Chain A
Amino acid sequence: MRKFALMAVLVFLGGAFLPGLARDASASISLEKCTLCHGKPEFRKLLVDGRIRDLYVTGDTLAGSVHEKKVCTDCHFDVSEIPHRERPKRVACTHCHFKGNREGAPQSDNVLAYFDSVHGTAIARGNTKAPLCQDCHGSHQILKVKNPESKVSRFKVAETCGRCHMEIYAKYKTSIHGVALSKGIADAPSCTGCHGEHRIYAHTDPKSTVYSTHVSGQCSKCHSSVSIMSKFGIETEQVATYKESFHGVANQFGSRTVANCSSCHGVHDIRPPDDPLSSVNPKNIPKTCGKCHPGANPNFAVGKIHVDAKKKESGIIYWTATFFKWLTIGTMLALVAHIFLDMYGRTRRLRGER
């Protein structure tokens, strides 16, 4: 009986493993077989909407990419016969890219972060236009992010996002950050600098790095850094003065309607204040403030917006604050002195009466 059980287990295990072994042994479909058709430069498909899908692939397609040692069916594993009758499904990178994989793919939870993001949840809801990994990272020519040619490299990622977010990309490109980046200034933020990489959420989502109460923290990552800002001659106390202002305090205590950095300076279209198109150009300030303060007039532009009462440059505000500070200290000292004198005198008076 025991022998029978052992046999049964062996047969079962064999049944489980042998097909797998057989599949490994066939080492999937070789590249040559795919390029029989895909290797012809004119191999393409005319889509219903008139666009053309280029299906030309050669042995060099993966060359130089991080997947250069892979073959077609490592990713397009649903192709099991040639010619394949149906269009292969979109590649699922999660096949290899998950934490604990044994394929040698980088160990990271980015995939999980993505599934939680606005893009991942859109995919999960069935939005076919939402991006999968390959829509940002590229399909065949995937390069490491440090490689400047990579679609997700610092200097290229905005263009990649812009393929879908066209209007925003157009605004960003002419903004101070976009212009700086196009000049090769690596300190300037691209889309991912503010929105995050895999953890991108809608700005209305409290998890978002650009949620209204997170904006100032996000801007301050660079704008409160003297080492970054000194390169461009930009002041670094703007964040601190904002946090001291009515707007900043309300924002820190969770108000979602109060102005944050981008309410005044713009979001994707941030420009330096001396730019006539800037929302914080003195000429445009009444209009910008008027978004929340109806009837805002040029008075809003008179005087510094980011005021620090502790700095001499603030002029009358500094002097008033200093005056009050010393007046208060002086009053305190005078009153304390008066109290002690009064007590001393009183004891003498009482002694005299006795």
Chain B
Amino acid sequence: MSRGDLAAVKVTRMSLLFRIQHLLLTVLLTVLAVTGFALMYHENSLAQWIIRLEGGVHNRGIVHRIAAVLLMANLVYHVFYMLFSREGKPELRQLFFTRRDFDDFLQSLRYNLGTAKEYPRFGKYGYKEKFQYWGASVGILLIGFTGFMLWAEEFSMVFFPKVVLDLALIVHGYQGLLGFVLLYLWHIYNVHLHPSVFPMNPSWITGKVSAEWLRREHPLEYEKLEEEGLL
């Protein structure tokens, strides 16, 4: 097949259920970030405007918690889906970090610096995707746990002294900021600003990517699909 044909061939990268989970995650994280950072930076006039828009601190808290509960539900669903569904199980297997990812990372660094000749060849998920996935997972777990502690403060303080809650507040806020930074400097770059996908990788809406893109960015996955005759 020529390159033009490959560009026309579409390959499914995200199934409908994954797209729904991803869309929910996008919307909920945005709501959580807007309501959360408004509180974190409450002395900022834009934050104050947002809080007023949300109907005061009390309502802001309610919106934040509704979004949090939905996010947790999404997470639980995702965990079950990844662990037990026919589609999820092989996905999860491909997402685990291996020694190879670390080598790939070093090789890409060397290649980018000009000391290696070959750019690493990635499977369906390269180190960039895996880092994003596990970073987000750990972040959401940590932020969810501390958030729950702060939400049920009277319950938490049966077990923990106040200093632990202060700590939870610090972790919750800063973890949110760190997650936000990762989201913008890593994920937005990889799926929106990266020249190969700019202005965006359409797979989160259509679920499909072109075979040509797959061949360039995820050659191992491309070869696997070709072998299986799925192209």
**Could you tell me which A residues sit within 8 Å of B by CB distance?**
249-250, 252-255, 293-297, 299-305, 307, 309, 316-317, 320-321, 324-325, 327-328, 331-332, 335-336, 339, 341-346, 348-349
Contact = CB atoms under 8 A, between A and B. Distances in A.
Given A328-B178, A344-B112, A349-B119, A295 B163 contact: no
5 contacts: A255-B56, A299-B157, A299-B161, A309-B166, A325-B174
Nearest to B117: A352
Nearest to B178: A328
Nearest to B195: A346
Contacts of B154: 293-296
Given A316-B163, A336-B185, A348-B114, A324 B108 contact: no
A305 B163 CA distance: 8
A307 B111 CA distance: 48
A294 B154 CA distance: 7
Contact of B56 (A253, A324, A349): A253
A345 B185 contact: no
Contact of A302 (B109, B162, B194): B162
B167 A316 contact: yes
Contact of B108 (A325, A335, A345): A345
Interface residues of B, number: 39
B37 interface: no
A312 B174 CA distance: 18
A249 B167 contact: no
A320 B171 contact: yes
Contacts of B195: 343, 346
Given A302-B162, A303-B163, A307-B166, A331 B112 contact: no
A298 to B, nearest CB: 9
B105 to A, nearest CB: 10
Given A335-B182, A339-B185, 12 more contacts: A250-B57, A295-B158, A300-B157, A303-B162, A316-B163, A324-B174, A327-B174, A331-B181, A335-B189, A342-B194, A346-B195, A346-B196
Given A299-B162, A303-B162, A303-B163, A341 B109 contact: yes
Contacts of A296: 154, 157
Contacts of A335: 181-182, 185-186, 189
Interface of B: 39, 42, 51, 56-58, 108-109, 111-114, 119, 153-154, 157-164, 166-167, 170-171, 174-175, 177-178, 181-182, 185-186, 189, 194-196
A324 B170 CA distance: 9
Contact of B170 (A250, A317, A345): A317
B190 to A, nearest CB: 9
Nearest to A342: B112
Nearest to B180: A328
A320 B158 contact: no
A341 B58 CA distance: 45
A84 B166 CA distance: 73
B6 to A, nearest CB: 14
Contacts of B57: 249-250, 253, 255
A345 B166 contact: no
Nearest to B165: A303
Contact of B178 (A250, A301, A331, A344): A331
A331 B178 CA distance: 8
B111 A345 contact: yes
B159 to A, nearest CB: 8
Nearest to B51: A253
Contacts of B113: 341, 345
B83 to A, nearest CB: 29
A332 B181 contact: yes
Given A250-B57, A297-B158, A309 B112 contact: no
Contacts of B58: 250, 255
A124 B164 CA distance: 54
B112 A317 contact: no
A311 to B, nearest CB: 12
Given A249-B57, A294-B154, A324 B175 contact: yes
Contacts of B163: 302-304, 307, 316-317
B177 A320 contact: no
Nearest to A250: B57
A299 B160 contact: yes
